[in-house]
Amino acid sequence: MSRKPETALVTGAGSGIGRGVAQTLAKMGLRVALVGRDPGKLETTKGLLGVADDRVMVAPCDVTDAEAVMAMAKEVESTFGTIDVLVCNAGTNVRNRALNVLTPEDWDLMIRTNLTGPFNLLRAILPGMRERKDGLVVQICSISGVRASTLGGAGYSASKFGQAALGITLGREVREEGIRSTVIYPGEVNTPILDARPVKVSDERKAAILQPEDVAAAVKFLVELHPRARVPELVITPTVDDFF
- Active-site residues, by number, are 156
Q: Where are the alpha helices (DSSP H) in the chain?
A: 16-27, 39-49, 66-80, 104-111, 117-132, 154-174, 203-208, 212-224
Q: 189 to each of 60, 93, 153, 235, how far by Cα in Å?
A: 24, 13, 16, 13
CB contact at 8 A, 212 and 191: yes
CB 67 within 8 A of CB 86: no
Q: Which residues contact 98 (CB under 8 A, 6 or more apart)?
A: 150, 153, 154
CA torsion sign, 4 to 50 to 218 to 181? negative
Give the span between the Cα atoms of 105 and 116, in whole angstroms: 15
Helix (H, G, I), strand (E, B) or coil at 84: coil
Look up residue 190 and give its amino acid. N
Q: What is the pairing mode between strands 135-140 and 7-11?
A: unpaired
121 and 223 Cβ atoms separated by less than 8 Å: no
* Closest by CA position to 165, among listed 126, 115, 127: 115
